[in-house]
Amino acid sequence: MALPPLVEPAAELTKDEVARYSRHLIIPDVGMTGQKRLKNAKVLVVGAGGLGSPALLYLAAAGVGTLGIVEFDEVDESNLHRQVIHGQSDIGRPKAESARDSINEVNPFVDVRLHQVRLEADNVLDIFRDYDLILDGTDNFATRYLVNDAAVLLGKPYVWGSIYRFEGQASVFWEDAPNGQGLNYRDLYPEAPPAGMVPSCAEGGVLGVLCASIGSIMVNEAIKLITGIGETLLGRLMVYDALDMTYRTIRLRKDPEATKITELIDYEAFCGVVSDEAQDAAAGHTITAVELKDMIDSGKDFALIDVREPHEYEIVKIPGSVLIPKDRILSGEALSEIPQDRPVVLHCKSGARSADALAALHKAGFKDAVHVQGGVLAWANQVDKSLPTY
């Protein structure tokens, strides 16, 4: 949808800025006025990861005058295949600081503001308030709903993107958009999917270059919103399939049944990050990786079951484990393969999936089954550091 410019133009561009942005300036739709709007814009990017990395680099290169970064994590080697704002020498550094340094290399005229905190209900409004536009590059539903609701309460537009394996999505949400065009994320997803239903990128993986494809679309939308050119994705969901190389758009409508957003809520509870059944099952039935090692060393007879997927099992495994993917346990298909005459210990990558499987086993009568807190990652970090992690 065509929208008026979000930002007023800055007073001027310097000689150096004119030289830097000359290829923008000779586009009639952008021109001096559009570039001055970009210079005057304050854009906040939530997350300096897969989507935030290309978005921050291209926003900086485009000449957005002020860039805020919300990021509390550190750079890990597993980030580097897709998070191109970070490099090998940044491993172990705060992502926000690494991103700032890369932005300064791309464009020293950008004012970079760091918010090195976990975005939560008690800080989100204060952080968002000073920015014209939000880009949401997060990878979990709890934070997405938090970003949405805060943007609605403050009347801010935001650009949203999502990636998984070979597919990406993007849209623009703005509850207070002019002429009754307003939509927000809850019009697309009124309720979060059940806990464990949608794997994260850490569980399911993501093609690295997909982040660049969706991140650049998000920046394109940001530029259009700031300058008031073109048709934005407000009211449309763009879906990209990298394997089929197809783009399609789905028309979005305002949900007439949607509850008006008047306050922030407990988003972890709303999204059921870990199901109640999994939490109940794990209570009193959780062991550490070190305790698992003690069980093995003492020669205790038990069944160690890995509930990850086969391709994960090929990457790294705990010695003596047997692979039975979680979905086969949840469906009941694999229950006959699980021994009833000895203790059962479940594990996954980090503990979430094994907790779900544990709840299913308890329900099926395996009351003494336990799972490993932290999963194979904890084993590799605490017991056998020679093993790779992913």
Catalytic residues: 201, 348
> What whole-number distance in Å separates Cα of residue 137 and Cα of residue 128?
15
DSSP 8-state class, residue 26: T
Count of residues for the chain? 390
Strand boundaries in the chain, DSSP class E: 42-46, 66-70, 111-115, 133-136, 158-164, 167-173, 236-241, 246-251, 286-287, 303-306, 322-323, 344-347, 370-372
Strand partners, 371: 286, 346
What is the DSSP secondary-structure string of 225-276? HHHT-S--SBTEEEEEETTTTEEEEEE----TTPPP--S---HHHHHTSS-H
Q: Which residue shows structure tokens 């830097």? A: 20
